[in-house]
């Protein structure tokens, strides 16, 4: 069993334990905050940061305690983040829907529910908790699931970040005409990172699609490499949550780290 398979198995078990009647979820959707669409903002920016609230990861273990995810998200927003990504997977990432709720209540920019979306219930759940964007990992889904879940997300008013790691996955992603595609330099089946994925795949993504570079970004040169290959956004978690000053770390990544006099 690959790492990805193991994570998904746990996601399904946790989902079965918390699943509620869909009618109850629909009531929550009806009272949820209106969707904030990030698409125009991302397309008009030469480089945007999707800043992540992330306590732990399968590859690195514990990263940060993050006792107040909303306060961290607010720092990100004030430093110029375009989207806040919130991990809601419990077993490997120590996240929760409570984190999503807290962040959504604090910030005024779009929020991404970062999880392994493998059941249609999770999309209704994401919208009920105020998510504006959800993650679709191509490696975790069949083509019919990818298509159906993309349509479901958009039907609920949300955008989907469609994540790929290989040429085959990118071809599958482009078949559904996505608006946002993320190239993850980390192979989720082995957890190995290969930054050349940015050079191999990002240039193949159409220019009218938001092109996001994910994983392995910790310094300014990493951002420049991704940007030179066509990325107009980066998704960063570990480098920010481990920084003593996350806002300053964001500015350094964007090359905006000159000290004001």
Please state the separation of Cα 49 from the chain's center in Å. 11
Q: Is 163 a catalytic residue?
A: yes
3-state DSSP helix/strand/coil % of the chain, to nearest 5: 45, 20, 40
60 annotated active-site = no
Asked if 207 is an active-site residue, the reply is: no
Query: Of the residues 74, 89, 169, 214, which is catalytic?
Result: 214
Catalytic pick among 52, 74, 89, 169: 52
Torsion sign, CA atoms 192, 58, 169, 162 = negative
52 among known catalytic residues: yes
In the residue annotation, 56 being an active-site residue is answered as no
96 vs 113: CA distance, rounded Å: 10
Q: Which of 114, 125, 179, 229 is catalytic?
A: 114
- Are the CB atoms for 110 and 37 separated by under 8 Å? yes
Active-site residue, from 48, 215, 229, 238: 215
Other C-beta atoms closer than 10 Å to the C-beta of 179 total 18
Given 77, 125, 163, 169, the catalytic residue: 163
Report d(CA 18, CA 20) in Å as an integer.
6
- Choosing from 184, 185, 187, 229, the catalytic residue is 184
Sequence-ordered list of residues with C-beta below 8 angstroms from that of 55, at least 6 positions apart, any chain: 62, 63, 64, 65, 66, 87, 93, 94, 95, 241
Known catalytic residue at 2: no
Six token digits for residue 150: 């993309």
Tokens of 116: 């392994």
Query: Please, where are the H alpha helices in 88-215?
Result: 97-106, 120-128, 143-155, 167-174, 196-201
114 in catalytic set: yes
Q: What is the DSSP letter of 32?
A: S
DSSP code, position 96: -
Catalytic residue from among 54, 77, 89, 185: 54
Enumerate the active-site residues: 52, 54, 114, 163, 184, 214-215
């Amino acid at each position: 069993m690959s790492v990805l398979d193991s994570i998904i198995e746990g996601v399904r078990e946790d989902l079965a334990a918390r699943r509620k009647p869909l009618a109850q979820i629909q009531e929550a959707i009806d009272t949820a905050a209106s969707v904030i669409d990030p698409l125009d903002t991302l397309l008009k920016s030469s480089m945007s940061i999707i800043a992540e609230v992330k306590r732990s990861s399968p590859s690195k273990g514990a990263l940060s305690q993050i006792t107040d995810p909303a306060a961290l998200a607010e720092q990100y927003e004030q430093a110029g983040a375009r989207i806040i990504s919130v991990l809601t997977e419990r077993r490997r990432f120590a996240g929760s829907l409570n984190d999503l709720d807290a962040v959504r209540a604090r910030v005024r920019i779009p929020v991404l529910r970062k999880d392994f979306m493998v059941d249609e219930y999770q999309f209704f759940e994401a919208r009920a908790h105020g998510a504006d964007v959800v993650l679709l990992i191509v490696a975790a889904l069949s083509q019919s699931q990818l298509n159906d879940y993309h349509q479901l997300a958009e039907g609920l008013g949300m955008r989907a970040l469609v994540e790929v790691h290989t040429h085959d996955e990118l071809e599958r992603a482009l078949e559904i005409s996505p608006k946002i595609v993320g190239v993850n330099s980390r192979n989720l089946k082995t957890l190995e990172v290969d930054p050349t994925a940015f050079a191999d795949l990002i240039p193949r993504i159409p220019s009218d699609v938001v092109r996001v570079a994910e994983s392995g970004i910790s310094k300014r040169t990493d951002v420049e490499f991704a940007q030179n290959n066509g990325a107009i956004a980066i998704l960063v978690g570990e480098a920010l949550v481990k920084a003593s000053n996350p806002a300053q770390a964001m500015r350094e990544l964007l090359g905006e780290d000159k000290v004001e006099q």
